Amino acid sequence: MQKTDFLESHKRIKKYIHNTPVLTSQLIDKRVGSKLFFKCENFQKAGSFKIRGALNAILSLPKKDQLNGVVTHSSGNFAQALSLAAAKLEIQAFIVMPSSAPQVKKNAVEEYNGQIIECEPTLEARIKAAKKIEQTHGATFIHPSNNKNVILGQGSAGIEMLEEHPDLDLIFCPVGGGGLISGTAIAAHFFGNKCRVVGGEPTAVNDAFRSLESGKIESNITTNTVADGLKTQLGNHTFPIIQEYVQEIICVEENEIIEAMKLIWERLKIMGHIKFTGIK
């Protein structure tokens, strides 16, 4: 990927997305002993950064392929993002979702005119169902994270951040499938001023941390974490980028995640799509 790829991708999707605000807190700065800037992608269309990559992936397809629609397998934010992106471009999105997916997420996909295909809650079932849609409708499969154009689209958040604050020393980024941190890390390489990128990951699902240590893609045995958007693993596109451009991945415990969310809510008055259960 080249610098021009990121510039072209950002230009391609710019009119469809929000340039989300960057917030600060003097109290949090004092608490951590640094100046922090929070890029609020929870204010993005469809509620997350995912629509950046979804739009770029669709818009990068030839027109004839766009007309046949797109398909993905997701039970979370990318399902909603691809549905909304497709609706904006007036094409069909087929969303393979496990039968166990929360009804609220299914409702959100349907509100964006995504066509849901339910399957058994296994990765094998998801892949099989998506493949069938490809064969039946000629739809193009778009992976939620392990896709070059998705990575380029996600990197636009980093570009915006660095345009507003060009001298950042470090960007701290969550790691799930690796699409956001991959795009962010390369964006920091091209547009930052010696800006380092560090990942954050729940200890309970620390496959990326372990992958960096072992040099191969690792899987998670459990998905028991409050950070439900990170219940996934790296792919053959995202992992090499992380190996080259991400300096470190820090693991955090569940109580640390919860306390951080509470702090952000109390001081910045914002909250993403977090479901609190049994938290006092």
Residues annotated as catalytic are 50, 75
What beta strand segments (E) does the chain contain?
A: 22-23, 38-39, 70-73, 93-98, 115-119, 140-141, 170-174, 196-202, 248-252
CA proximity to 36, closest of 227, 268, 262, 271: 268
Which residues, including other chains, have CB under 8 Å from residue 46's CB and lie 6 or more apart? 77, 80, 81, 83, 84, 85, 112
Of 12, 89, 76, 87, nearest to 50 (Cα)?
Answer: 76
Q: Pseudo-torsion of CA 49, 56, 77, 206, nearest 10°?
A: -70
